Structure 1
Amino acid sequence: MRNVVLVDPYSTGSALAPAFAERGVPAVAVLTTPEPTASFADTWHPEHFTEVFVLDDADKLARRLRELDPLCVLPGTETGVEAAEHLSELVLPGQSNVAELSSARRDKWRMGVALADAGIPHLRQLSASTADEVAEWLRANDLDRSAIVLKPQNSAGADDVFIARPGEDWRVPLHRILGAVNRLELTNTSVLVQELAEGVEYAIDTYSVGGAHGLVAVWRYDKRAEGNRLGVYLSACAVSPDDPAVTAVADYARRVLDAVGVRNGPGHVEVMLTASGPRLIEVGARLAGGDQQYLSRLAVGDSQLERTVRHWVDGEGAIADYRLLRHARSVYLSAPESGVLRGAARLGRLRELLPTLHKVDIPHRDGSRVARTVDLWTNLGHVVLAAEDPAAVATDEALLREIEAELHVEPS
């Protein structure tokens, strides 16, 4: 019996093995580290796999995988992207993405380089390992009196994304990032420095087959800065394909996917629609994370997860565009400080208070210890709202913000 090989099947990717199993296709796991990173440990389900391998010698492992006659080799989450593509090329040549551009689908600086090489508008950027490099780049690009963004090149979830406004010392976040171990347990040996993109942020979820890119769903992000941290999520909402912004960002996203060599599988492209047009924030060659697959099924009746199974099992129906069935929105809650959460009495009653509620993922109650929200990893949780009537969703989101305003944190 043929199977699928899943590399680092964590986070959203933990749903891949059960989805293939429903179609009678078993799964084999490959881990890039002996144990999953702490951020993903609770999403590792070894019981979903007939065999589990730890990647050490890629050529040796590829010989073993070829004996299993797999349908495909797929990444589960961000840490598995490059390894899955390399193994796929060894086991099933030509079936994945463009091999020589693999790092451009993982390293945030190389993404921008790929766009520049393809002549696609992009943010001015620098990969830096010293303050002197940054200072010289700012002078050379006349950005020394402009807002800039500093972030790790190989992390996720808005981890350590800082904004330095005019007059603020960008050296502080630079040295905070350099040498630190990020959320994916990788050491930051360099820092991505970019000009600040201002506008409305969109996420374009795609699925590609043979270099043709279908739209699965488009999302509008609402985010804010918290002090010098850039990336506190407020909400993500589905956008109708009839919205004029979708045409602009989707056309741009397809050019991005071509530039970074995506040919087969899911893509997640985050784009800022600025006054000068779309500009890439980052791209992922894997399933969109968080609750995006669940949210997508509510909004458009389909998801990248289902398309992945259809592509590899049925060989059809993976690159059609989408239509909006429901107005769906994921709403995130934040903690203003670290300490003990108080005023949370109504959090336990959300199902009776919010008629459009479909899912609650808020583990905190009165007395919970919480961290100050500075990124996607440190929010208090989120809820998923969906209905055919957008006004009903908006009403419930407004009530949820009232409940959030009741929360306060006692320093501990």
Structure 2
Amino acid sequence: MPTDVAAAPPPIVERRYAVAFALVTTLFFSWALAAALNDVLIRQFQKALDLTRAQSSLIQTAFYLGYFCAAIPAGLLIRRYGYKATILFGLGCYAAGAFLFYPAAEVQRFGVFLTALYVIAIGLGFLETASNPYVSILGAKETASARLNLAQSFYGVGAILGPVIGGLFVLSGVEHSPAALSAMTAAERATWRTSEAATVQGPYVAIGIAVCLLAVLIARTRFPSIERPLAERTEVRSFWAVLRHQRLVRAVVTQFFYVGAQVGVWSFFIDFAKTQAPQLGERSVAFLLSGSLAMLMVGRFSGAFLQSRIAPARLLAIYAAANIVLCGAAVTLSGEVAVAALWLTSFFMSIMFPTIFALGVEDLGEETENGSSFLIMSIIGGALIPPAMGLVSDRIGGVHHMMAIPMLCFAVVLGFAVLVLREKRR
């Protein structure tokens, strides 16, 4: 009997995939925690290892270089052994890198810390290359972007806890002015720097143990295999053939600039806030950063449901335009107003990574994993943009001018969103 009642939209997460979705979602939390702690390490290593802003930004270079190097091997591993094996390998590298922090602090060598961060990032590159496409195909195509935004919401939880953990257990709260440091003897300075370097040992050993426990849990859980419809199956192509899809290529370029902007803003937020509101201590500013990242989580939870009413590309365009304005305010204004503008950018960054990712791999079918590898490689933007911002600050002076670089990056995101909207109107 005919009916005029429209069919109910598919659920964001189907019940049969709920357990797998929940476990993979914990991975989003785990890599967010590692990335957020980097923003605290930048400040801590400036003290513990006597680094400039440009030198300390190499933390992000080592970290996101690991992502870049891991992406293609991760895609090949998925094709041969599947998502679960790739996730377990990634967790193994993550734990190994976290445990390396203990000897790195003992020898107080920045290069050893960078190696540990690189190993962690290799693991996270495998995790992200597997988890993002797995979530996007773990249900109906129509809800892929909303589902990925929902999973990425738990990235926000890890991002919030990172600065809190860093503020409580990594940042000592002991700060010395250049004059006070000059007044110390060489032995006193060495003792102080040794104690500052040692603060990272406990938190990272704890993270390594937690990651090992998560790996055991995932190893003992059965993951559902995803069978694509016959219409989506294609002949086996070269790994690089996926780059014939123009939208994917645009998404890769856009993700490069987006990740660079995100990492740059968060990396220097503590320094920025300290210069604009010097009455705040470093721990207070770390907690302020945590509050900003809470807005990221709010934005992702709300974004997952807003995208059922607003086209993902349209919402992406609106949020990118908002961040262009906010970064412009951080560049041109000063004091608490500038800090507030930069603080609010996290809300509008919220949907960007998952939405760019979902739009990039849309309709790739059996080439989804290959496309995912290139999108994860584009995270190398997080290795290159923050050092550029640090150089701008060191050469020109101050932290205001450096925020013009993220503003330009968000303009690239806006351009991508506009192009996708035009494409979908055809």
TM-score normalised by the shorter chain: which range applies? under 0.3
More helix by share: 2
Higher relative contact order (CA 8 A, sep 6+): 2
Q: TM-score, normalised by structure 2?
A: 0.25
